[in-house]
Structure 1
Amino acid sequence: MRCDTLTSFMVMDIVREASQYDDAIHFEIGQPDLAPSPKVLSALQEAIGKTAYTESLGLLALRQKIARYYAVTHGVDVPSERIVLTPGTSGAFVIAYALALSKGERLGLSDPSYPCYKNVAQVLDIEPYFMPISKEDSYQLTPLHVKGKGLHALQISSPANPTGNLYDPNTLSALIATCKEEKIAFISDELYHGLTYGTKAHTALEFDKDAYVINGFSKYYCLPGFRLGWVIVPQNKVREAEKLAQNLFICPATLSQYAALEAFDAAHLENVRRVFEERRDYLYGALSPLFSIDAAPEGAFYLWADVSKYTDDSTAFAKKMLEEIHVAVTPGADFGTNQTHLYVRFAYTRDIAHMKEGVARIKKWLGRHLPPKH
């Protein structure tokens, strides 16, 4: 696989340009601005001096805490040896794909979806196969999307980036049952679990003990720079996963693992969830009169806004908005080709006062320069 064939993210260009403006309003980057639990920072200080590698699967005490999280939150039993700690969820994607697929096999993905899925697949010489989803199917893949497509594995995300949708349990169960029938490995990205608003998130493990489940500490736990994720693999893949981890990255960062031992701070995490719910409510209400938004997001911290009444080129729209009023959003084209030229993604990862200023600028700008097309 030639690396020069990988897709570059326009959002990183937007981030770079926005950094030139002291008054920039940031809706572009999916990085929480909230601090982690103070207990995490205390644990990090106590861990200074722990400079040795951990075992390749990761610190056992942390894997045991993650196992308890699944038992308490979802009522599923996950042996700690099935949990592999990774350098961010990016490392988890590599392990899951390498275990579930071979060179040339087909990975099913939704369009739109998080762009790293496709790029990681291509690095491994795996074929990404895209299936369009939209508001008509609540941005959820269904058995009809999957049957007869020659897939060897299917990847979903719930809650999803960029749409903020959440798979309902009936659809998730039916999709997993179809994958079992067709001998398709099931991979579930659950990185935004915990950040849900009025609807419970269900792990794929509730319906298939052999699902590959990916999660991490960068979003809900507010530890993006710690670069620490995990992947749960089927029991019969544990040894292979350990070999991959040994060869690809030895182990995740030791200090990050010790600090994350204190990340499961229930009171702090509920406050994080509440803050993002308040931001969701504000931004959805503020932007709905300006753009068509398919539904209030049920999770994560993104709004998928249809800008088609103003433009048929959301990339040019986003660039113009940044240049003229210093408001940064992510063009939809980062997430696929299925009508994405008509959408932009707003991230509500800054406080409401910051977002209010951005919305005020957008209102004036739209009224002054961009009357609706129709």
Structure 2
Amino acid sequence: MEEGSNLLMVLACMILSWIFFHRWQQRHTKGPKTWPLVGAAIEQLMNYDRMHDWLLKYLAESRTVVVPMPFTAYTYIADPVNVEHVLKTNFSNYPKGEVYHSYMEVLLGDGIFNVDGELWRQQRKTASFEFASKNLRDFSTVVFREYSLKLSAILGQASFQNQEVDMQELLMRMTLDSICKVGFGVEIGTLAPHLPDNCFAQAFDTANIIVTLRFIDPLWKLKKFLNMGSEAILDQSIKTIDDFTYSVIRRRKAEIEGAQETHKNDKIKHDILSRFIQLGQDPESNITEKSLRDIVLNFVIAGRDTTATTLSWAIYMIMTHEHVAEKLYSELKAFEEDWAKEENVSLNQYNAEDPQTFNQRAIQFARLMSYDSLGKLYYLHAVVTETLRLYPAVPQVMRYT
């Protein structure tokens, strides 16, 4: 019995010595401190909710930071020359890779953000052509204007009643509604005045969080095999997303086929899904229902969070820089007055204390917002561009070597 206790004591001392020596070797290391076997996973998990700030602290000390993890290691680079080398000069040498694809496949499938090589080039070429079409551009303009006015009405009401609002949440709702309308051609209504819950929106957010967590959770494959914890929640979220997406795809296919049979092609919608369904009618296109699901969900992911976070930061920066707010207001005011002179139109008078007249003026101003007219707002463009420089909408891009 005593011999067994002594053996355990020796083993414990060896393990503690191993850990001490491992940590002592890192006393001059600039990057994250690691532990035997698990690497920096513990530190990453502890900082999950402030991941970008955590990385920025290390990147401020060194433009290249290595984060060892179980079975792999992540190398973060922030030097502009190296970033250009990876994302532009030698783009083909740095694919997303099979690991990234396996982590994200459950949500992104074989969409443009989760594939490499020829499949990526084909999707990019098709998407570039479709997104440049006048029909989609005009349709998108109408949709974004419609939901911007809904947001304006909610903010106006809150202002008149002196209520606090969560600006980022409202912008997330606006961009999700807008992107789903442009992508699927459906109204999901999360920006309704009473701000209702929506099962698709909740499942989409949950799935996004959990697949991202996979990159720092060494146990996710075990949890997936056992269908427990976050992976069980992810499974339910993906089911909700797929049920909604496939039902919309099948309904839209039936609508398009019905319109074509009755020669009423003017009834076909101009959303992304409808456009790709029509492309899929070509026998050589190889576009399946699964392809349609992946294409549209990748589009939603591309346009929802990125737009909302950029708008959130832009509004924050404008509010904290009074001279910027004044110059931006002057540009928009001059733009509106010039339009009124050119069209010989009287601008609606409004009372800042009267919601009805204020909303009428907002509606009149919104009519000026088009794809072409936005190109004339140079200072607004500068504000958005500088916001993206300071707070990039996609602060991390993963590549495999």
TM-score, reference length from structure 1: 0.27
- Which of the two has greater helix per residue? 2
TM-score, reference length from structure 2: 0.26
Q: Which has the higher contact order (CA 8 A, sep 6+)?
A: 1
- Which of the two has greater strand per residue? 1
